[in-house]
Structure 1
Amino acid sequence: MKRNLRKEKIGLVTSNKMNKTIIVSETKRVKHSTYLKPISITKKYIAHDENNSCNIGDLVQLMETRPLSKSKRWRLFGIIEKVK
């Protein structure tokens, strides 16, 4: 049995106005259950950014972690692509 398997997410930074905190939105395309039309679902995650290194529009990777505050349950794992 493996322990310490943590979930990982990839998304775009939508806000970095807070100190050491970013908001990342993940967009998925799924089929509607009744109409079978593809729809996009956006989910927001509040993540810990220790060095304040992210800017709005960056593509980042998040990793699940212990609760850091009331709403922070994710931390920045890596920046995949910086905005130009």
Structure 2
Amino acid sequence: MTEDKKVEKNRKKLAGIVVSDKMQKTLVVEVNRLLQHPRYKKRMKISKRYKAHYEGTGYSIGDKVEIEETRPMAKTKKWVVLPKTN
């Protein structure tokens, strides 16, 4: 007997701050992380911006959001905003 099993991979999740909501169905989320220099041991703050798919209207600039990796939806949009948890 063969059953169709859906195997869901562990997708990457990141937390960041919304820096732009000007595009339709898209938020730009900036994710900050600390990285230590291999030789000098100084900690550096590295930031990167991700475009994430979002069809609602609940988030605005400055809100903290969590994004999850998904299939490519556009050339640079490969993340989706997770719903609020409260």
How high is the TM-score relative to the length of structure 1? 0.85
Alignment identity in percent? 38
Match of 1:73 in 2: 78
Aligned to 2:43, which of 38, 43, 54? 38
Helix, strand or coil: the match of 1:78? coil
**If each structure's strand is expressed as a fraction of its own residues, which one has the higher value?**
1
- The residue type paired with residue 9 of structure 1 is L
Q: Map of 1:1-84 to 2, 5 A cutoff?
A: 3-79=8-84
Structure 1 segments unaligned to the other structure (5+ residues)? none
Structure 1 residue runs of 4+, over 6 Å off? none
* TM-score normalised per structure 2: 0.83
Distance in 1, Cα, partners of 2:53 & 2:72: 10
SS at match of 1:35: coil
Instruction: Give the CA deviation at 1:4.
Output: 2.2
Q: CA deviation at 1:30?
A: 1.5
The residue type paired with residue 55 of structure 2 is E
Question: What is the aligned-residue RMSD (CA, Å)?
Answer: 1.7
Based on CA coordinates, which of the two structures has the bigger radius of gyration?
2
Structure 2: runs of 5 or more not aligned: 1-6
Alignment size in residue pairs: 80
